[in-house]
A and B are shown apart, each in its own frame.
Chain A
Amino acid sequence: MSTSSALFVVIVAGLITYVCRSSLILTLADRTLPASVERALQNVGPAVLAALTINLAVGSDGIGSVEFAEVAAIVVASMVALWRSNLIWTFVSGMVTLWIVGAIT
C-alpha cells in the first residue's frame, strides 16, 4: 500500500470513528427527547455492555472454543462484582480463577 493511500485510510478511519462517537452526542445535546425515548436510552448501556461481554468472552471462533476455565472466571468475577461492587476485586478474582482452573483442567 502506498504511503499516500495508507495516510488517506488512516485519516478517513479517524474521521469515521470520531463521527460514530460524536454524532448522537452532538445532535441530541440541545433537544429534549420524549420521556419514553429517554427511558429507552437508559437501557442502552446495560444492553451493549452485556453484548460486548459475551462477544469478547466467546470470541470469533464460536461457543465451541470456550474453555471451562473461562466460563468459571466469568461466573466467579460476576459473583464478586455483585457482592463487592468493586472493579479491582472483580478483575483479581476472575483472573485468579482463570489461572487456577486453567492449571487444573
Chain B
Amino acid sequence: MTDVEQKRRFDKVDRRALADVLPVAIPAVPFGFVIGVGITEAAMPAWVGWLTSPLVFAGAAQLAIITLAGTASVWAILTAVLVINTRHLMYGAALAPAFRHQPRWMRWFGPYLMVDQVFALSALQVDRSPADFRRYYLTTGLTLFVVWNSVVSLGMAIGAVVPDNWRLDYAPPIMFAGLTLFAIKRVPAGVAALVGGFVSLAAVGLRDRLGIVVGALAGVLAGAIADEYMRRRADRSQADTGPDMSVGSEASP
C-alpha cells in the first residue's frame, strides 16, 4: 500500500468518533469478560457459544442465550432474545431518517452494528451529511465490534481480570445519562426523556428488560403530546393580535 493510499484509508476513520467511542467501549470490557467466562461454563460447546459474539453481537441477548442454555427450551431462549431486542426496533425507527440518504449496502450492513452504544452516539450525529454520518457510524460500530469480540475471546481464554471493586458495572448508566442529556435539544424531547425515565422506573420489575420498551413508548407518546400542545399554542399566538403576544412575535423570524 502506498503512503497516499494509506492516508486515504485513514481519512475514512472519523477521529472524533474514535474519541467518542473510547469511553463507551471501556465499560463493555468487563461485560465482555463476563460473557466470555459464561460461555466456558454454558451447556453448549464453547465454539458455538463464542459464535454468539459475531453473529448476535448484543450483550444482553448473548447473556440470555448462554445462561438459559441447558435449562430452558429452544423456543423459550429465542422468545427471551426477541423480547430483549425489541428496543432495537425503536433504535431503527429513530435512525431511519438518517439512513434514508445512505447507499443500499449501508442500509443493509449498518443495522448489524447497531448496539446500544452505537445508537446512543450516532443518534446525536443525524444532522451531519450522509457521508459524515456514515463515517461516524461505521467508525464507532466497527470499533465496538472489534473490542467486543476481542474481550469475549479473552474472557474465554483467561477468565475475568477486572476487579469487581472498580465498579465498571455501573459505568454504562453513567454514560447513558450523559448521552440522554446530549440528545435533548427541544422541549418535547425533554418531556419524552422525563416521562420515559419515570415510566421505566415504575416498570423496572418487568422481565427481560421490558421496562425499557414500556418507558420508551410512554416517553415517545408524551413527547408527541407536548409537541402538539406547543404547536397549537404557537398557532394560537400567531392568530392572536393581543398585546401580550409581542414576545412571541419577536421570537418569530
Interface residues of chain A, those whose CB is within 8 Å of chain B, are 1, 3, 5-14, 16-18, 20-26, 28-30, 36, 38-60, 62-63, 70, 73-74, 77-78, 80-82, 85, 87-88, 90-91, 94-95, 98-99, 102
Contacts and interface: CB of A to CB of B under 8 A. Distances in A.
B90 A48 contact: yes
A62 B204 contact: yes
A102 B87 CA distance: 32
Given A47-B218, A57-B170, A99-B167, 11 more contacts: A1-B70, A10-B55, A13-B77, A17-B88, A26-B107, A52-B87, A54-B197, A77-B177, A88-B19, A94-B178, A95-B167
Q: Binding site of B, secondary structure by majority: helix, strand, loop or mixed? A: helix
A49 B179 CA distance: 7
B92 A81 contact: no
A38 B183 CA distance: 16
B56 A73 contact: no
A19 to B, nearest CB: 9
A10 B51 contact: yes
Point out which of A3, A43, A82 has the most chain B C-beta atoms below 10 A from its C-beta.
Answer: A43
B177 A63 contact: no
A4 B151 CA distance: 26
B223 A43 contact: yes
Nearest to B191: A43
A2 to B, nearest CB: 9
Nearest to A44: B94
A40 B69 contact: no
B200 A54 contact: yes
Given A12-B78, A47-B192, A24 B107 contact: no
Given A46-B190, A52-B87, A95-B171, A40 B99 contact: no
Contacts of B35: none
Give the bracket for the number of chain B residues in contact with chain A: 35 or more
Contacts of B243: none
Interface string B54-66: 0111100100010
Contacts of A8: 74
A98 B65 CA distance: 31
Contact of B223 (A14, A46, A91): A46
14 contacts: A20-B85, A29-B100, A42-B189, A43-B223, A47-B222, A48-B212, A50-B194, A54-B201, A55-B212, A57-B170, A57-B177, A91-B174, A94-B174, A98-B170
Given A11-B55, A13-B65, A88-B22, A50 B178 contact: no
Contacts of A95: 167, 170-171, 174
A56 B181 contact: no
B53 to A, nearest CB: 10
